[in-house]
Amino acid sequence: MIRRPALSGLIFLLMGAFALPVAADELSDFESARRSYDKQSYTKAARGLESLVGGVVPRAANPVVRLEARKYLGATYLFLGKKDAAREQFRLLLEEDPDYDIDPVAFPEAVVQTFQEVQKKVSVERARRDALELARKQRERSEEVEDLIRQQQRIEALEKLASEQTIEKVNSRWIAAIPFGAGQFQNENRKLGIMFATTESAFLAASIATFIGHNSLRDENPGPNEIDRARRVEKALRIGNWVSVGALLSFAIAGVVEAEVRFRPVIRSSRPRELPDELRSPQSRGPQLRLEMGLTGGKLRIDF
């Protein structure tokens, strides 16, 4: 074992090297307990060391004195047969200074072995706590990244809502009752509207043409040889007028019925709306090409 004078010198050296303040009664109490340990008065040594580091809050404020007291108290407990109390002191010592190691020359093998067992257990526990702490930090970082992603998605969604203008067009039943595809165009069925408008216009033109042609026959005075031909022309124009008028009415009614059946009271549409630069996210702005002109010349600039 290291003799008492050498140990005292070592403690004073450590406290001087780290500039650690120490109360005189702490050092004197430790030295007294240490002398009892050397004399193998373990019960008395335990009482002195317990006065320094016993209880929830150790009285020894100086770290060096506190660590040395725990080490000797653990060794003292082993000699007194208090193995669990000895392991607890070694554990508290290693919790405070994980790199602390015991001198195998200064202490018996049983003390060194018990200390090393506690050291391994504390190392495993510390590794487990470090792993849990690392997992917790990684989980927090993952949650932060997810929060940032959700925030960015929310900003993009709000920007999309702000950049789109919704327009509502209120339709009229009266317009749906107008032929020539007016109801279809109002319902935004362009192809069907063009079909009805073209077909009805064609039959209207045919009706007008056959009507005019039929009326023009009144002014004619055909000869005996042309009476049969005139009758055939008159009949053809009359039947053609009836057919074209009937077709016009049929398509007009069909168009109105279709427009009324598929009537859309309100039609909503969206169109883009320019946002001010201060409301737009940097990702949505993109590169901008600017041409700046001045009295002394101009320059072309691309902003990202």
Query: Is pTM beyond 0.85 here?
Result: no
Q: What are the tens digits of pLDDT across the range 201-247?
A: 998 998 898 888 778 777 777 777 777 777 788 788 889 889 989 98
What would the two tokens of residue 112 be? 């060194």
Q: How many residues does the chain have?
A: 304
Q: What pLDDT is recorded for position 2?
A: 39
Q: What pLDDT is recorded for position 225?
A: 78
CA distance 289 to 282: 15
Q: Would you give per-residue pLDDT tens digits along the chain (304 residues)? A: 434 444 444 544 444 444 445 566 889 999 999 999 999 999 999 999 999 998 788 999 999 999 999 999 999 999 999 999 999 999 999 999 999 999 999 899 999 999 999 999 999 999 999 999 999 999 988 888 888 888 888 877 777 766 777 787 888 889 888 988 888 888 888 888 899 899 989 989 988 988 887 787 777 777 777 777 777 887 888 898 899 899 889 988 998 898 888 888 888 777 776 766 665 655 555 555 555 555 455 555 555 5
The DSSP result for the chain, as a single string, is ---HHHHHHHHHHHHHHTT----HHHHHHHHHHHHHHHTT-HHHHHHHHHHHH-SSS-S--SHHHHHHHHHHHHHHHHHTT-HHHHHHHHHHHHHH-TT----TTTS-HHHHHHHHHHHHHHHHHHHHHHHHHHHHHHHHHHHHHHHHHHHHHHHHHHHHHHHEEEEEEE--HHHHT-TTTHHHHHTT-HHHHHHHHHHHHHHHHHHHHHHHHHHHGGG----GGGHHHHHHHHHHHHHHHHHHHHHHHHHHHHHHHHHHHT--SEEEEEEE-PPPGGGS-HHHH--EEEEEEETTEEEEEEE-
Q: What pLDDT is recorded for position 218?
A: 72
Q: What pLDDT is recorded for position 49?
A: 94
Q: What are the tens digits of pLDDT across the range 263-291?
A: 888 887 777 767 666 656 555 555 555 55
Angle at 82 between CA 80 and CA 86, to 5 degrees: 105
**109-163 vs 63-79: helix crossing angle, rounded to 10:** 130
